[in-house]
Amino acid sequence: MEEILRQQIEKIVPLTDDEFQLVLSHFSVGKYKKHQYIVQQGNPVPYVHFVVKGLLKSFYIDKSGKSHILQFAMEDWWITDNQGFYNEQNATLNIDCLEDAQTYYITLENREKLCAELQKMEFFFLQKMTAGNIALQNRILSLMSKNSEERYIQFIQLYPDLIHRIPKTLIASYLGISRETLSRLSH
Protein backbone atom coordinates (compact mmCIF):
# COMPACT_ATOMS: atom_id res chain seq x y z
CA MET A 1 0.00 0.00 0.00
CA GLU A 2 2.87 2.34 0.81
CA GLU A 3 4.05 1.84 -2.72
CA ILE A 4 1.06 3.66 -4.14
CA LEU A 5 1.97 6.77 -2.19
CA ARG A 6 5.60 6.47 -3.15
CA GLN A 7 4.79 6.12 -6.84
CA GLN A 8 2.41 9.06 -6.66
CA ILE A 9 5.18 11.27 -5.29
CA GLU A 10 7.87 9.89 -7.57
CA LYS A 11 5.80 10.78 -10.60
CA ILE A 12 6.90 14.32 -9.72
CA VAL A 13 10.01 14.12 -7.52
CA PRO A 14 12.44 11.19 -7.08
CA LEU A 15 12.93 9.89 -3.52
CA THR A 16 15.57 7.79 -1.82
CA ASP A 17 14.37 5.02 0.49
CA ASP A 18 15.29 7.12 3.50
CA GLU A 19 13.46 10.11 2.16
CA PHE A 20 10.36 8.07 1.54
CA GLN A 21 10.52 6.72 5.09
CA LEU A 22 10.69 10.30 6.30
CA VAL A 23 7.66 11.20 4.20
CA LEU A 24 5.76 8.17 5.43
CA SER A 25 6.50 8.93 9.06
CA HIS A 26 4.43 12.09 8.76
CA PHE A 27 1.35 10.21 7.62
CA SER A 28 -1.07 7.94 9.47
CA VAL A 29 -3.18 5.11 8.12
CA GLY A 30 -6.97 5.24 8.26
CA LYS A 31 -9.48 2.53 7.46
CA TYR A 32 -13.09 3.37 6.83
CA LYS A 33 -16.26 1.50 5.98
CA LYS A 34 -18.79 2.16 3.28
CA HIS A 35 -21.13 5.00 4.29
CA GLN A 36 -18.69 6.24 6.91
CA TYR A 37 -18.08 10.00 7.04
CA ILE A 38 -14.54 11.27 7.32
CA VAL A 39 -15.44 14.97 7.11
CA GLN A 40 -18.68 16.53 8.24
CA GLN A 41 -20.16 19.96 7.58
CA GLY A 42 -19.59 22.17 10.63
CA ASN A 43 -16.74 20.13 12.08
CA PRO A 44 -12.98 20.75 11.89
CA VAL A 45 -11.02 19.26 8.99
CA PRO A 46 -7.81 17.93 10.50
CA TYR A 47 -6.47 15.93 7.54
CA VAL A 48 -5.83 15.61 3.84
CA HIS A 49 -6.29 12.02 2.74
CA PHE A 50 -4.43 10.12 0.07
CA VAL A 51 -6.64 7.20 -0.99
CA VAL A 52 -4.91 3.84 -1.38
CA LYS A 53 -8.06 1.71 -1.52
CA GLY A 54 -11.74 2.33 -2.03
CA LEU A 55 -13.77 5.27 -3.22
CA LEU A 56 -14.98 8.45 -1.54
CA LYS A 57 -16.94 11.53 -2.46
CA SER A 58 -16.98 15.10 -1.20
CA PHE A 59 -20.26 16.96 -1.45
CA TYR A 60 -22.02 20.12 -0.45
CA ILE A 61 -25.56 20.26 0.86
CA ASP A 62 -27.24 23.50 -0.19
CA LYS A 63 -29.81 25.44 1.79
CA SER A 64 -32.70 23.63 0.08
CA GLY A 65 -31.20 20.31 1.14
CA LYS A 66 -29.96 19.25 -2.28
CA SER A 67 -26.58 17.59 -2.42
CA HIS A 68 -23.91 18.51 -4.98
CA ILE A 69 -20.84 16.37 -5.50
CA LEU A 70 -17.61 18.32 -5.74
CA GLN A 71 -15.23 15.41 -6.09
CA PHE A 72 -14.84 11.67 -6.25
CA ALA A 73 -11.60 10.15 -4.99
CA MET A 74 -10.42 6.65 -5.71
CA GLU A 75 -6.99 5.03 -5.43
CA ASP A 76 -4.15 7.48 -6.08
CA TRP A 77 -6.30 10.58 -5.45
CA TRP A 78 -6.14 13.17 -2.69
CA ILE A 79 -9.25 14.40 -0.92
CA THR A 80 -10.23 16.85 1.80
CA ASP A 81 -12.32 19.97 2.30
CA ASN A 82 -9.66 22.43 1.14
CA GLN A 83 -11.26 25.47 2.66
CA GLY A 84 -11.66 23.80 6.02
CA PHE A 85 -8.24 22.17 5.99
CA TYR A 86 -6.00 24.97 4.77
CA ASN A 87 -7.82 27.81 6.50
CA GLU A 88 -8.37 25.75 9.62
CA GLN A 89 -12.09 26.43 9.50
CA ASN A 90 -15.04 24.16 10.05
CA ALA A 91 -16.05 22.11 7.05
CA THR A 92 -18.59 23.35 4.55
CA LEU A 93 -18.37 19.99 2.79
CA ASN A 94 -19.03 16.40 3.73
CA ILE A 95 -16.85 13.49 2.70
CA ASP A 96 -18.02 9.90 2.93
CA CYS A 97 -17.09 6.50 1.59
CA LEU A 98 -18.84 4.90 -1.37
CA GLU A 99 -16.79 1.76 -0.73
CA ASP A 100 -14.70 0.48 2.17
CA ALA A 101 -11.58 2.61 2.01
CA GLN A 102 -8.06 3.03 3.26
CA THR A 103 -6.11 6.28 3.24
CA TYR A 104 -2.82 7.79 4.28
CA TYR A 105 -3.68 11.03 5.99
CA ILE A 106 -1.61 13.98 7.20
CA THR A 107 -2.25 17.02 9.37
CA LEU A 108 -1.53 20.58 8.27
CA GLU A 109 1.21 20.79 10.89
CA ASN A 110 2.91 17.62 9.71
CA ARG A 111 2.61 18.70 6.12
CA GLU A 112 4.42 21.93 6.90
CA LYS A 113 7.02 20.08 8.94
CA LEU A 114 7.55 17.66 6.09
CA CYS A 115 8.01 20.46 3.58
CA ALA A 116 10.53 22.15 5.85
CA GLU A 117 12.50 18.92 6.31
CA LEU A 118 12.29 17.85 2.68
CA GLN A 119 12.10 20.80 0.32
CA LYS A 120 11.14 18.76 -2.69
CA MET A 121 7.87 17.84 -1.01
CA GLU A 122 6.84 21.49 -1.18
CA PHE A 123 7.49 21.36 -4.89
CA PHE A 124 5.43 18.18 -5.08
CA PHE A 125 2.46 19.77 -3.33
CA LEU A 126 2.74 22.85 -5.51
CA GLN A 127 2.63 20.72 -8.64
CA LYS A 128 -0.39 18.82 -7.37
CA MET A 129 -2.17 22.01 -6.44
CA THR A 130 -1.42 23.48 -9.86
CA ALA A 131 -2.80 20.43 -11.63
CA GLY A 132 -5.86 20.71 -9.40
CA ASN A 133 -6.37 24.32 -10.44
CA ILE A 134 -6.24 23.44 -14.09
CA ALA A 135 -8.79 20.67 -13.63
CA LEU A 136 -11.12 22.96 -11.68
CA GLN A 137 -10.92 25.69 -14.29
CA ASN A 138 -11.77 23.20 -16.99
CA ARG A 139 -14.73 22.01 -14.96
CA ILE A 140 -16.01 25.57 -14.65
CA LEU A 141 -15.73 26.13 -18.38
CA SER A 142 -17.44 22.82 -18.95
CA LEU A 143 -20.34 23.80 -16.69
CA MET A 144 -20.67 27.11 -18.52
CA SER A 145 -20.20 26.02 -22.11
CA LYS A 146 -21.49 22.45 -22.43
CA ASN A 147 -24.98 21.00 -22.14
CA SER A 148 -25.86 17.92 -20.09
CA GLU A 149 -25.03 15.39 -22.75
CA GLU A 150 -21.68 16.94 -23.60
CA ARG A 151 -20.69 17.04 -19.95
CA TYR A 152 -21.66 13.40 -19.50
CA ILE A 153 -19.63 12.35 -22.52
CA GLN A 154 -16.69 14.35 -21.22
CA PHE A 155 -16.99 12.65 -17.83
CA ILE A 156 -16.86 9.22 -19.45
CA GLN A 157 -13.75 10.22 -21.36
CA LEU A 158 -12.02 11.70 -18.31
CA TYR A 159 -12.94 9.00 -15.80
CA PRO A 160 -13.74 5.76 -17.65
CA ASP A 161 -12.94 3.76 -14.50
CA LEU A 162 -15.48 5.54 -12.38
CA ILE A 163 -18.48 4.91 -14.62
CA HIS A 164 -18.77 1.32 -13.47
CA ARG A 165 -18.11 2.00 -9.80
CA ILE A 166 -20.53 4.84 -9.21
CA PRO A 167 -24.33 4.90 -9.50
CA LYS A 168 -25.66 7.18 -12.20
CA THR A 169 -27.51 9.20 -9.58
CA LEU A 170 -24.20 10.35 -8.15
CA ILE A 171 -22.68 11.06 -11.53
CA ALA A 172 -25.67 13.27 -12.24
CA SER A 173 -25.03 15.09 -8.97
CA TYR A 174 -21.39 15.62 -9.97
CA LEU A 175 -22.37 16.91 -13.41
CA GLY A 176 -24.94 19.32 -12.04
CA ILE A 177 -27.95 17.69 -13.68
CA SER A 178 -30.94 15.72 -12.38
CA ARG A 179 -30.83 11.93 -12.29
CA GLU A 180 -33.84 11.79 -14.61
CA THR A 181 -32.12 13.90 -17.25
CA LEU A 182 -29.01 11.73 -17.07
CA SER A 183 -31.13 8.61 -17.34
CA ARG A 184 -32.72 9.90 -20.52
CA LEU A 185 -29.31 10.69 -21.98
CA SER A 186 -27.61 7.39 -21.37
CA HIS A 187 -29.79 6.10 -24.12
Partner DNA sequence: GCATTAACGTGATTTAGGTCACAAATTATC
Partner DNA sequence: GATAATTTGTGACCTAAATCACGTTAATGC
Question: What whole-number distance in Å separates Cα of residue 106 and Cα of residue 18?
Answer: 19
Binding partner at 183 among DNA, its own copies, none, C-beta below 5 to 8 Å by kind: DNA
> Which string of x and - marks every residue 103-142 that binds its own copies (by CB under 8 A)?
------------x---x--xx-xx--xx-xxx-xxxxxx-
Nearer to its own copies, 129 or 156 (CB): 129
Report H helices in 38-185: 82-86, 108-117, 119-145, 148-158, 160-163, 168-175, 179-185
Residues near DNA, by CB under 7 A: 34-35, 147-149, 167-170, 176-181, 183-184, 186
Provide the phi-psi class of 132: left if phi over 0, else alpha when psi is between -120 and 50, else beta.
Answer: alpha
Tell me the closest approach of the beta carbon of residue 17 to its own copies, in angstroms: 25
**How far apart, in Å, are the Cα atoms of 159 and each of 127, 164, 178?**
21, 10, 20
Per DSSP, the three-state class of 62 is coil
Tell how strand 28-32 and strand 94-97 pair up: unpaired
Tell me the closest approach of the beta carbon of residue 106 to DNA, in angstroms: 29
Question: In the set 40, 41, 83, 102, which binds its own copies (CB under 8 A)?
Answer: 83
For residue 116, how far is the Cα from the chain centroid? 24
Determine if 70 is a binding residue for its own copies (CB under 8 A). Answer: yes
Strand order in the sheet with 101-107: 28-32, 101-107, 47-53, 78-79
Tell me the closest approach of the beta carbon of residue 33 to its own copies, in angstroms: 26
Determine if 62 is a binding residue for its own copies (CB under 8 A). Answer: yes
Contacting positions for its own copies (CB under 8 A): 60, 62, 66, 68, 70, 82-83, 86-87, 115, 119, 122-123, 125-126, 129-130, 132-134, 136-141, 143-146, 176
